[in-house]
Amino acid sequence: MTRLLLVGATGLVGGHVLDQALADPRFSVVVAPTRRALAPRPGLVNPVVDFDNLPQDADWWAVDAVICTLGTTARKAGSPQAFYRVDHDHPLEVAYLARRHGARAYALNSALGADAASRVFYLRTKGEIERDLQAVGYGSLTLVRPGLIGGARVESRPLERLAVVASGWFQPLLPRRWRVVPAERIAHHLLQAVQDGMPGVRVLPSEALI
């Protein structure tokens, strides 16, 4: 049975990861650090943390695997620097701390088109976190790259919502990599990745998630 650390549990994909992991007998404990307390649930350990000042030696870092679904938008973050902290710096620090305490597998919810050399800031940030995670030393690292994500978000992302709706109209005509990927499918693949623990670095493109 696996002790899982989940960061990003309050987001769309992270919420599905949390639900699926707590219902899965293969996971003994789900540690989900958040900024605000979650409702208590059996099997959930929920440290309330400041991601800008994470505790270095908390005992809850001792897990077998990590799933990271942290992510924001430039608008919500307020600045490119704040966006970079959430989508790059926090996932990387979590990776180092969990690895130092024994975690062996890490799965990241990244993005279609992630590329450290991209001229697009969002895609470059995703590419840089993918690149930098490979230096942490995980025996198993899975990079999941969905395109448009389907599901009901708590926060408002009107442009993304419009793109999802438009894609839904043309779904049968679109190549698989451009189709909307339901958030619960992404969660399933993230959980399966850390359970399988395949050695090395593995990339799951959007078309493989549907």
The whole model's pTM is what? Answer: 0.89
C-alpha angle 126/109/53, rounded to 5°?
Answer: 75
Alpha carbon separation from 159 to 36, 82, 141, 170 (Å, rounded)? 27, 21, 31, 17
> Coil, strand, or helix at residue 115?
coil
Give the separation between CA 77 and CA 70, rounded to whole angstroms: 12
| DSSP β-bridge partners for residue 3 | 29
Distance separating alpha carbons of residues 94 and 16, to the nearest angstrom = 20
Task: Give which of 60, 122, 127, 123 is closest to 94, Cα–Cα.
Answer: 60
For the chain, 210 residues long, give each residue's pLDDT as a single digit of tens.
799 999 999 999 999 999 999 999 999 999 999 999 999 999 999 999 999 999 999 999 999 999 999 998 888 889 999 999 999 999 999 999 999 999 999 999 999 999 999 999 999 999 999 999 999 999 999 999 999 898 554 555 555 554 444 445 445 545 655 568 999 999 999 999 999 999 999 999 999 888
Q: How far apart are CA 66 and CA 107, in angstroms?
A: 6
Contact of 209 with 146, CB cutoff 8 Å: yes
Ramachandran quadrant class, 43 (left: phi over 0; alpha: psi -120 to 50; beta: rest): left
Q: Where are the beta strands (DSSP E) in the chain?
A: 2-7, 27-31, 44-45, 65-68, 105-109, 140-145, 149-150, 181-182, 200-205
CA angle 49, 51, 55 (to 5 degrees): 60
The pLDDT value recorded for residue 114 is 97
For residue 162, count CB atoms less than 10 angstroms from its CB and return exposed for 0-12, middle for 13-18, buried for 19 or more.
exposed
- CB atoms closer than 10 angstroms to residue 29: 17
